[in-house]
């Protein structure tokens, strides 16, 4: 296909383990394994074999500094300074750390804003902190969507009053792919003396960010979606420099100043950068694949990835428009440039259409209640993947082969 011949990133496809019989469009749930990630994982296994305990400081990627090394690559992707980013914990644990550290409720300023479309784990974490501090759900302010898919920035801003202590929002909504206007929201929050941060799970590795320039207070994310770090890969945490020195709410010895950690004192000397917000020993084997995986992002840069991503989703939306007209699909995603890197196609038969797609070798994911999420990923999907997917979908609809499946979701959708 001509579009693939002109694609500067096409050469990266062969660096990934793609099955010939599948079209993988689920890289925003679990990114694929690359040869580089496999290699960096194997190197760490090798250093364990060879150096045992000394692997902490010896070998090609000494474990003691790995969280900071990976943090440096992550910092480029989120537009932050090296000292502001650390690879640590998981998305949910990093959010707990942020809440434990920066939710400092006072009389009359003790509420948290979130939105009704955010990922459930974030909401559970926020509510648990309110409970732990003795508050009720009244302190939880959930911004409602007017249409079930999108959140209006005006509605968030209207809810920012003097009672709000903290705001946690997604950068890109996991269903509709809407990119929230982070810069604008931060400006409005800071005018009212409110701290604000974002969950970057669906934006890291997909779109550019300028967290430092926008003055975002904190951010957190997972590294197994667009960044291809592997199942359960260690997550990421950004803490704006202006907050460095704030004592971690959930402290542990890996938050210590690196030179002091092994003094084993009971008085903690907290690191003076984002490292402070780690807790215990990092999961080295769940971090090692990121060294290889991120080297591709270092090489390509996020702007080229974003540019191709927009072309892929543009092409997909065009094909949906022309090829699927008779079949009552609805685009639930933003269609302009305020969209992230995936498409959400709505249909009342979505659950079983996804099963029919899988039977035909296309891997989408189903999102309750009626969404088919399709994510063509810049580093390994082609324009031909997109073309074939929509044509397979057209055939499924014409032949009604989805009708042989039940319209309910699987355990993991």
Site size for ligand PLP (CB under 6 A): 13
Would you say 145 is a known binding-site residue?
A: no
Of the candidate spans 89-97, 158-166, 321-329, 343-351, the one that interacts with ligand PLP by CB under 6 A turns out to be: 89-97
To ligand PLP, the closest distance from the beta carbon of 121 in angstroms equals: 5
Of 40, 73, 91, 97, which one interacts with ligand PLP (CB under 6 A)?
Answer: 91
To ligand PLP, the closest distance from the beta carbon of 250 in angstroms equals: 15
> Which CB atom, from 201 or from 363, has the smaller least distance to ligand PLP?
201
23-24 and 236-239 strand pairing: unpaired
Measure the CA–CA gap between 357 and 148, rounded to whole angstroms. Answer: 25
Q: Which residues sit opposite 372 in a β-bridge? A: 345, 366
To ligand PLP, the closest distance from the beta carbon of 343 in angstroms equals: 16
Of the candidate spans 10-18, 90-98, 284-292, 346-354, the one that interacts with ligand PLP by CB under 6 A turns out to be: 90-98
Site for ligand PLP in 330-349 (CB under 6 A): none
To ligand PLP, the closest distance from the beta carbon of 90 in angstroms equals: 4
Of 69, 121, 261, 407, which one interacts with ligand PLP (CB under 6 A)?
Answer: 121
Dihedral sign for Cα 144, 146, 147, 149, please.
Answer: negative
Instruction: Walk across the sheet containing 343-346 and list its strands.
Output: 330-331, 343-346, 371-374, 365-367
Strands (E), 103-208: 111-115, 140-143, 164-170, 195-199
Of the candidate spans 45-53, 118-126, 311-319, 386-394, the one that interacts with ligand PLP by CB under 6 A turns out to be: 118-126
Q: Which residues contact 33 (CB under 8 A, 6 or more apart)?
A: 16, 17, 228, 230, 289
Q: Which residues contact 403 (CB under 8 A, 6 or more apart)?
A: 352
Task: Confirm if 114 and 123 have CB atoms less than 8 A apart.
Answer: yes
Please state whether the peptide bond connecting residue 369 to the residue before it is cis, i.e. omega within 30 degrees of 0: yes
Of the candidate spans 45-53, 87-95, 156-164, 330-338, the one that interacts with ligand PLP by CB under 6 A turns out to be: 87-95
Of the candidate spans 119-127, 185-193, 243-251, 349-357, the one that interacts with ligand PLP by CB under 6 A turns out to be: 119-127
Orientation of helix 302-323 relative to helix 383-399, angle to 10°: 30
Would you say 119 is a known binding-site residue?
A: yes
What does the per-residue mask of binding to ligand PLP show for 183-222, with x meaning CB under 6 A?
----------------x-xx-------------------x
Q: Which two tokens stand for residue 382?
A: 């082609």
> Which CB atom, from 29 or from 382, has the smaller least distance to ligand PLP?
29
To ligand PLP, the closest distance from the beta carbon of 149 in angstroms equals: 15
To ligand PLP, the closest distance from the beta carbon of 350 in angstroms equals: 19
Q: Which residues sit opposite 50 in a β-bridge? A: none
Q: Which residues sit opposite 344 in a β-bridge? A: 373
To ligand PLP, the closest distance from the beta carbon of 118 in angstroms equals: 6
Residue 92 binds ligand PLP, judged by CB under 6 A = yes
Of the candidate spans 116-124, 310-318, 343-351, 379-387, the one that interacts with ligand PLP by CB under 6 A turns out to be: 116-124
Would you say 69 is a known binding-site residue?
A: no
Residue 170 binds ligand PLP, judged by CB under 6 A = yes
Q: Which two tokens stand for residue 188?
A: 């409005």
Residue 174 binds ligand PLP, judged by CB under 6 A = yes
Residue 410 region by backbone torsions, left for phi larger than 0, else alpha for psi between -120 and 50, else beta: beta
* Concatenated DSSP letters of 33-89: PBHHHHHHHHHHHHHHHHHGGGGGTSSSS-GGGHHHHHHHHHHHHHT--GGGEEE-S
> Which CB atom, from 65 or from 119, has the smaller least distance to ligand PLP?
119
Q: Which two tokens stand for residue 192?
A: 């009212």
To ligand PLP, the closest distance from the beta carbon of 318 in angstroms equals: 27
Residues interacting with ligand PLP, by CB under 6 A?
90-92, 119, 121-122, 170, 174, 199, 201-202, 222, 235
Binding residues for pyridoxal 5'-phosphate: 91-92, 119-122, 199, 202, 224, 253, 281
């Amino acid at each position: 296909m001509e579009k693939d011949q002109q694609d500067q990133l096409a050469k990266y496809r062969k660096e990934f383990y793609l099955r010939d019989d599948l079209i993988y469009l689920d890289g925003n749930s679990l990114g694929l394994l690359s040869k580089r990630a496999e290699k960096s994982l194997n190197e760490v296994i090798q250093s364990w074999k060879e150096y045992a305990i000394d692997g902490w400081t010896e070998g090609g990627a000494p474990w003691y500094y790995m969280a900071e090394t990976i943090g440096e690559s992550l910092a480029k992707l989120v537009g932050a300074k090296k000292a502001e980013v650390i690879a640590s914990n998981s998305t949910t644990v990093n959010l707990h750390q942020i809440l434990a550290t920066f939710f400092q409720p006072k009389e009359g300023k003790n509420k948290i804003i979130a939105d009704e479309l955010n990922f459930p784990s974030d909401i559970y974490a926020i509510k648990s902190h309110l409970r732990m501090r003795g508050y009720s759900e009244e302190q939880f302010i959930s911004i409602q969507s007017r249409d079930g898919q999108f959140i209006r920035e005006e509605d968030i801003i209207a809810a920012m009053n003097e009672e709000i202590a903290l705001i946690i929002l997604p950068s890109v909504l996991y269903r509709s792919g809407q990119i929230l206007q982070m810069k604008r929201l931060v400006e409005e929050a800071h005018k009212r003396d409110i701290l604000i941060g974002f969950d970057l799970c669906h934006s890291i590795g997909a779109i550019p960010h300028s967290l430092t320039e926008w003055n975002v207070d904190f951010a957190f994310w997972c590294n197994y979606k667009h960044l291809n770090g592997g199942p359960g890969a260690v997550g990421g945490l950004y803490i704006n420099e202006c907050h460095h020195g704030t004592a971690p709410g959930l402290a542990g010895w890996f938050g210590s100043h690196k030179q002091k950690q092994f003094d084993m004192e009971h008085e903690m000397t907290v690191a003076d950068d984002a490292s402070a917000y780690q807790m215990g020993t990092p999961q080295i084997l769940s971090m090692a694949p990121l060294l290889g995986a991120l080297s591709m992002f270092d090489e390509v840069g996020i702007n080229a990835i974003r540019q191709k991503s927009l072309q892929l989703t543009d092409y997909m939306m065009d094909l949906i428009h022309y090829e699927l007209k008779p079949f009552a699909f609805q685009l639930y995603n933003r269609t302009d440039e305020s969209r992230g890197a995936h498409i959400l196609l709505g249909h009342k038969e979505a659950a079983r259409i996804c099963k029919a797609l899988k039977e035909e070798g296309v891997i989408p994911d189903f999102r309750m209640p009626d969404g088919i999420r399709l994510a063509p990923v810049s580093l390994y999907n082609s324009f031909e993947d997109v073309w074939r997917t929509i044509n397979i979908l057209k055939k499924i609809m014409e032949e009604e082969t989805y009708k042989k499946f039940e319209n309910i979701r699987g355990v993991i959708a």
